[in-house]
Amino acid sequence: MSRFKERFATFPECFYVLEVDGIVVGHINGCITNTPELPDELYSDASLHCPDGKYQTVFGLAVAPEFQRRGYALLLMKHFIEISIKRGHLGMVLTCKEPLIGFYRQLGFKFLGRSASNHGEVDWNDMLLSYEIDTQPGTR
């Protein structure tokens, strides 16, 4: 819990909570980095957050069990992606367990393969969403 509090204190602009009828049903969070990778060090060292970085990470996406399968995780992800695009990031990076690869693919994430991460002693898969950026002069 202390790492979670440290992350929130360091990058509160990267935490979002979803409420339905005054009840918190889910949340999403992650730091910003300069590379399209999610090394384990980012989880344990909040000082590695790079506010001017080019990639939004997703550390956690959670919806309370009694509110799952109602589209709330999708809503949180779409909101996080929208905010990330508005901030001028190049993309979003995350790791996920194998059963969730399809969920992230429906949002446009590409499966990059098995992750080198052993965060939480779990097998992870690297996923990357690259944003289409208008490169015409005067636009980002």
In a domain, 96, yes or no: yes
Let me know if residue 135 belongs to a domain.
no
**SS3 (DSSP) at 83:** helix
- pLDDT band for position 135 (cuts 50, 70, 90): very low
pLDDT at 117: 85
Range of the domain at 73: 2-130
Give the pLDDT band of residue 133 (cuts 50, 70, 90).
low
Q: Is residue 77 in a domain?
A: yes
In a domain, 114, yes or no: yes
The token pair at 12 is 């509160």
> pLDDT (tens digit, 9 = 90+) per residue, 20-75?
999 999 999 999 999 999 888 888 888 899 999 999 999 999 999 999 999 999 99
Residue 139 is assigned to a structural domain of this protein: no
Structural domains counted in the chain = 1
For residue 136, tell me if it sits in a domain: no
140 found inside a domain: no
Whether the Cβ atoms of residue 129 and residue 95 lie closer than 8 Å to each other: no
DSSP code per residue over 9-29: HH-GGGEEEEEETTEEEEEEE
Task: Look up the CATH number of the domain holding residue 37.
Answer: 3.40.630.30
Instruction: Specify the higher pLDDT residue, 136 or 72.
Output: 72
| Angstrom distance (rounded) from CA 126 to CA 107 | 14
Within-domain flag for 138: no
User: Residues 102-108: what's their mean pLDDT?
Assistant: 97
